[in-house]
Structure formats: structure tokens, C-alpha cells
Structure 1
Amino acid sequence: MTHHPQSIAEFRECARRRLPRFVFDFIDGGSGGENTLAENRAALDRVRLLGRAPVDVSQCSQSVNLFGRDHAMPVIIGPTGLAGAAWPQGDLDLARAAADTGIPFVMSTAATVSMEDLARAGAGDKWFQLYLFRDRAVSRRLLARARTLGFSALEVTVDNAIPGRRLRDVRNGFSLPFRWSPGKLASLLAHPAWTLRMARSGPPTLEVMAAELGLRQTDTIAELMQSQLDPSVGWEDLKWVRETWTGPLIVKGLLDPGQVPKALEIGVDGIVVSNHGGRQLDGAVATIDILPEFRSAAGSQLTLLVDSGFRTGSDIARALALGADAVQIGRATLYALASGGEEGVRQALGVLKSELAVAQMLMGARSVKDFDLSMLRRHRPPERPELMFQPLFPEPVAVVPAKPQSLLS
């Protein structure tokens, strides 16, 4: 009998076994010493959930409305570049699985399929992730194509003035096009299924960027991005995007809640609180820790999304209770993609939905909107046992319901 992974951790292990080392490390790795990568997980684990029984949870719903559209659960498959390295034309599989599950999919500018092919992949809600390139005409053309092809929302990534130093990629010599060394060739022999799929489909290429920019051979993906992305990007550039794009506009990559007033000033519709999954600034704050400050600053004026390190339904419940409207996932569905293509992604989304249902019912939340701070405690180190479980915040936080007082005071 075939064993299907029952958690994202199991999908990760499956991907580790099935992918050549240099491909798995590209997906799995972070920047520098990978301290942010580790902290994302550790910070989530510090936030503990309060079971709330007895509560009548015989009728529960995970549905959520984002930018005027209803979705089956508060999860979005976020933009992940070079998905085709995990599975041929993997972007299409991710989009179709998202559509079948009833959640949005965000196409990356660094996708391995064309925008036209992605727009035709399933009937789901599709968003487009935009980089602001040194040549603004490229970004202008991509924005126009996204509008013409019916992408419903635009997500502009801003935390890439310079790429993070992803040391696994440097050590592995990860490049586009792939450069073959004896070690990599040996890895291909050890992973015949992946090798055969790639031989049949051809090596992945960054289709969108190739069409607009032309690509040269580079030492690492980070070097390629550094040669094209613009470190001068500021709020004036985002104001131009706002004036050009008439649909929902989301800014991805904010970690400083002090930026919220600027976002409101130019008319941004949503924010993705993100440390780029630990792939940019090593040592950055975990998004789950800074999330409540964003909700306090934004109030109800912005749709608040969060990513970086979310692997379980309980993680999603934590984010909802701390003020997020939905969670974007990246590596979780890439691991599933590498494990079994579209069907693997569909299974992984089913796992997250089931895990969220367990957390939701045991925490007494009949709907996504029922999650709040009163359902959480923060775990403290055991040096002082009396402080092991403490309120999340020493003072009440604006906009968040101030009950019960035992949590917020």
C-alpha cells in the first residue's frame, strides 16, 4: 500500500530523498548562517494555543474573503521562483492544485512557465508577483500583461534591494542554466526519477524573465537577480504602480510596522509581512513576532497577510489569532510538488486544511474571524517556572479585542 505523507515535515523528507542535493538545497536553504530560517520555526513554537472547551463547534467554516473574493480557507500559495526545478512546469501544477482547493495562487516573475500558460491553468483566482527591475519598461510591460491576462491582484516584492547570501547555493554551484560537475552528475544518477523527468521536459528556465530580459549564464540565482533588480526602489515607485494598477495592490516583504502609514498613504490594499522565508536578511525578526504590531498599526484598513516558516494548520491558527487575514505558504507546497507533482500539492493542501480544522475546533473558533489573542499564550524559558506561560503583550494593543484581561494586562 502506498504511504502518503501526513504532514509538511514528511513532504519535506520525501522531497529531500527525491531531489538532487543542489535542487533541494535551493528550495530548503536560507541566507547566511540560516538563523532567520531557524528563528521562524522557533518563534512559532513559542506561541502556544489554548484549547477552549466546551464550545459548540458542530458548524465551522474556514472560508475567508480576500479583496472581495471568497476562498475556501485562509491560505495562499505564494510566489516561489524556479518551481520547475522541483517538477517540470511545476508552476502549472501549483496553480491547478490551488484552484481545485479554492485558494489563490501567486505567480512569480521568476516562474518557469509563461504568463499566458499560467493564466490558462485552472479556473482559480490568480495573482501576479512583480519585481521592479532596473529597466522600468520591463516592469511596465509585465504589469500590462498581468492586467490583460486577467490576474486579479498584484503583489510587489520589495525586500530585495540586494539578494541574501545563500551559502548552500554558492557551495553547490547552483546556476542557470545548470552547470554540471562530477558531484552533480553523481547526484543525477542517485535520483533517476527526477533525472528522467527533466530529460523529457528539458531543464527549467525562467520563462517570464527570459522573454523580457534575456538571460546569461550566472554563478548563482542570487547573482542573476542582483544584476536585474533595482536597489533604488522606494515608495514613489510603489505610488507609480498604484496609479497604474487598478486592482488590489499588495506589498510583499515588509518587516517594519513603521512602514504601514506609507502604505496607507499611497492606497495599498494589502501587506505581506515577510522575511522572505529567511532567504534575505539573516538574523531578521520572525514574522509571527512582529505580526501583532502590523495589525495594531494597520487597524482594519489593510488586508494583512503573512509568510515565512508556516508548515502546519496550527501555525496558520497562530497567525489568524495574532491578526493575519490569511497565510502565504511557499516551501510547504514546493516540498509537496517535488514529492508528487499536482497531486502531491493537492494532498499537502488537504493536510493543512485538516490540521487547521483540528486547531479551529479545539480552540473554539467557529469561523476564521473568531480567532483572537485570548486563545494564545507565549512560552517562556524554564529558568523561572512562574513565567513559563505569560501574556503575549505587557500592554493592551490597539485594535485587538482587550479580553480577557489576564492575557493583555
Structure 2
Amino acid sequence: MKDLAQHLSTRIIHHDYVAPEGFVAPAIAVHKASTVIFPSIAALRSRQWKDKSGYTYGLHGTPTTFTLEERLCALEGGLQCVLVPSGLAAIANVSLALLKTGDEVLIPDNAYGPNKSMAEATLAQFGIRHVLYDALDVADLAAKITPATRLVWLESPGSVTLEFPDLPEMVRLCRARGVITALDNTWGAGLAFAPFDLSGDGSHDLGVDISIHALTKYPSGGGDVLMGSVMTRSAALHCRIQELHMHLGLGVGANDAEAVLRSLPTIELRYRAHDAAARTLARWLQQQRPVVQVLHPALLGSPGHAHWQALCGAAQGGEGAAAGLFSVVIDTRYSQAQVDAFCDALQLFKIGYSWGGPISLVVPYALDSMRQRPSPQLQPGTVVRFSIGLEAVQDLQRDLTQALEQAFGPL
């Protein structure tokens, strides 16, 4: 090599120094690559990336991304994982990998909105039919499954209104009918319950087939990373997901993977802190005059509370785990303008989508434009969703108090 490298630029590019092995530190090394160098043509032809036994191209994995995938498997109890650029990309990866023309997918009516809109637009263009079902009614799901049904989406709890379904019973039903289940597990985050072990006995006899996770939320924890994951315990399903993943050219940035790896060791501590603060504020808001309903799975009377208690409560010594998200319904006697003024008056709560970061967030929602089915479990009114951050709960309560009084009068 030295005989060939006569010029400075060549010597710099082809310098033969190799750092010694054995360096170990808490942080995982960040490996950035498009091109991966092979030692020989034989290695180029034989190396396999699909089982993480080797590296072929940066898009197909590096030590950094492989490590993150394996640690996420430890978090949620999966065996195989792929990383994608966002939570929505994870949903798309699953639906497009498993559905074809003539197939049918069932989606809960309270699901994450972009999942439904993707079915209405993109999946429909491929001749894939979608049907909405009542997330709190196992019988309704059973009635909607047909011979064409290939995939059932689940959410525990539902987006915005946080109804908690009977997840184990829905999985039993789908398994008996031979239908694949995919769970949006972003709220549970692998901490509230084990998606692949819903019986909680370690047998994995009862669990979802696929878990998708918006790593943007609790795994990142900083509100600064967009990423998602798709996880399974089935090699056959993983191959279908992985094949589409490759064909779409999906990948994540090394520095984003590094950020999630750095945050993962504190995810349980942060999750419990978000949870404790959210419960405190949710209970306080139950007592406030403008609020007619608080939607939080851990609160008695919230839709699906018994299902949450059965799945999440017993596994956590009776206290359970419930994330840092809840919604309130503001009484119909107050106008949309007053609800908007309440949100605008908040100072510590910022107006913005997403959740799981250090800053508390608030967003009002118009459910009439989001749901096709009636929601008798919800009181009439305007829904406002809160994501509780890591601020002191006393300060957040003071902020809520002054904003409520500004918008709705003395409490």
C-alpha cells in the first residue's frame, strides 16, 4: 500500500493505521456508512445482513442500528426488529408488507388518525378495503372479520380519547380466526405491559403478532428525534416486513440512533415520572367546574379502565403504569373560542403535537371530524389532550389554574 500511495491525498485516504480493539465505554459508537468495505470478493458474495451476521451496505444496518434494534427487542420482548424513519413509517411498513389487492384491514375508530387516512387514501388505491370497528366492543370486531380480513390493527389505549380495549380477548379472537394482529404500542412503550406476553407468565402463548413503536416518543424522550420500529417474534412475518423495508429503501440516521440509544437507559425512570405527574393533574382536573370528563386509563370511570387494570395494574403491584397522556372533555356550555383561549393562555404547556418529551403539551381536538362511529362512552363537549412533561407538577397545576380562570371564569 505504501509503495502505491505516493501522493498526499492518496496516503490520507488509504492510511493503514487501525485503532486497537478493546475500547469499551457507556456510549455506543456511532457508525456512519453508505459504502461498507469487504475484505474480498468472496466476502462480498457471501455476507448476509438479514440475520445481523454481517454488514453489506449502510442502509441495511451498522453496529449502531443493530445494537438499537436488539435493545428495543429487550424492551418489548420481541425477537426481530427493523428501524424506520417515523412511527407512521412503521405503520405503513406493516400494512404495505402484509396486504394486497382484495385484502381487508380492520382499524379501531379511535386509532391514530394518519393510520386511518392512509387506509382511506393509499391502501384504497391498491384495492385494499378497510373497515372501522369499535375498540371497546370485542363482539363488534368479531362481526367485522370476514374471509378477506388479513390484518387487524390494535391500539391500547386509543389515540386522543384513550379508551383501553380488552386487548387479550381481541388477540385471542384474531388468533382463532387466523388473522394477524398489529399493535401500536407507543403508549405502552414496553413498560405498561408486554405486547408479546399478554398473559404475563413468560410463556408468550398469548401476544400480538407485530408491535410498532414511535420511538419519537418515550424511547427518544427529547422531542428531537423522528424514528419508529417494527417488531415481531415470527421469523416468517419478519421476513415479509424486512423485504418491503429493503424495497422501500427505509433507513435511519446514525446520530438519531445514537440519541435513542443514549436515552433508553432512563426510559423507565422518565416513564414513571410522566405517569405520576399525569395522574396527579388528571385527578385534580376531575374536580374543576369546566371539565365534565377526564380520559385517563388509570382513573376509575375512564372508558376501558377495567381492561387497563387487568392488563397493566396487576403486573405493577396494583399501581400499574399509564404513561403521561390524558384528555379532558370541556362542558358544552363553553364555546370552541373559549377552549382555544384556554389553550392559548397556558404558559408552561406549549401547543404542539407528539408527546413523551420534557415539555408539557396541549392540543384541542374536534372529534366529530375524526370519528365515523358515535362515542357513547364520551361526554358531550370539546376534547383537549395533554402530554405531561418533566416540569414540577405544582407549577403545571398553577399554569392550568390561571388558564382555566382566564378562559372560563373563577373556579
- Same fold? TM cut 0.5: no
The structure whose Rg is larger is 2
Higher RCO (CA < 8 A, seq sep 6+) = 1
- Structure number with higher helix proportion: 1
TM-score, with length taken from structure 2: 0.28
